[in-house]
Structure 1
């Protein structure tokens, strides 16, 4: 009798766990679905300001949904004058507790960081701190368009721009 009672309780608990997981999963999936404009393979060019002026680069990004569409995996590589100038792996997830997105970035030198992100008017904003922000959106031509800006006094000054085309 104890055996059947234990089995019944175990099944009941696991059933309740699955129903809560499905509800939670659907919340995460709905939030991550808002980022579907990013998914795909992208290639294009960009520029960034450096000490000696503007530096141009070629960029490829590979973005895909992961973990049953509850996360976005971003792999990006930038090359300038035959050298890799950007090589990062990022994971974008939704934080239900704080009602925002989390942008985690990993670099080959072992550095990694976590940034707050949010969607405002169909653009993904992510912030490295209070004075630096990046914005990603799909422009009117269907291209990946990304800018980086820093805040000086009360205005934003652009230091980075990237325009990528979706590859077939």
Structure 2
């Protein structure tokens, strides 16, 4: 009898805790809106490669830029890894980005990490690509991407009040294949 009572109390306790373990119910409408919005970035999925050039006070720097991009969490996110290679084969740059869509605010976001920094930045998805910006004091760093005929061009400009944009980055990538990253290779139940 004592075991039955203990079992009953344990079951009751578990039943009482179950609703609090999941603080909020699944928002299926938001998930559906996120999936639909992310379809606008399906063109990005895959593996890309091509030349990139950056300008700095130290001069011009040329690399081979690569990107691997795929959907995640059932197509509600787009995950990107950008990596550039110097002429000697060493890695010159490596970044991770996650694009998300806020269904309630109807806004896009790019959360990225690179060069010891990270942040969440507003993003605008266009018919031909996207634009995202990083606030940098009195100026803004703006990246504009366009895709045409399997070619992805992205430029970076410094935007300062009262001055014309100053281009500091250009990359032109060609899609070189499919990728099952980052979804492939997840841990199975066994």
Scaled by the length of structure 1, what TM-score is found?
Answer: 0.81
Residue 99 of structure 1, CA deviation: 2.1
Larger Rg: 2
Counterpart among 80, 102, 107 of residue 109 in structure 2:
102
**Structure-2 residue corresponding to 1:156:** 165
Where does structure 1 differ by over 6 angstroms across 4 or more consecutive aligned residues? none
Residue 53 of structure 1, CA deviation: 2.2
Q: CA RMSD for the aligned pairs?
A: 2.4
CA distance in structure 1 between the partners assigned to 2:127 and 2:40 by the alignment: 11
**Partner-residue secondary structure (3-state), 1:118:** strand
CA distance in structure 2 between the partners assigned to 1:79 and 1:71 by the alignment: 26
**Structure-2 residue corresponding to 1:120:** 126
Counterpart among 52, 55, 59 of residue 61 in structure 2:
55
Residue 110 of structure 1, CA deviation: 4.5
**Partner-residue secondary structure (3-state), 1:23:** helix
CA distance in structure 2 between the partners assigned to 1:119 and 1:95 by the alignment: 13
Residue 120 of structure 1, CA deviation: 3.0
Higher-strand-fraction structure = 1
Scaled by the length of structure 2, what TM-score is found?
Answer: 0.72
Q: Specify whether residues 78 and 127 from structure 1 end up closer, same or farther in structure 2 by C-alpha distance, changes over 3 A only.
A: same
CA distance in structure 1 between the partners assigned to 2:60 and 2:150 by the alignment: 25
Aligned residues: 154
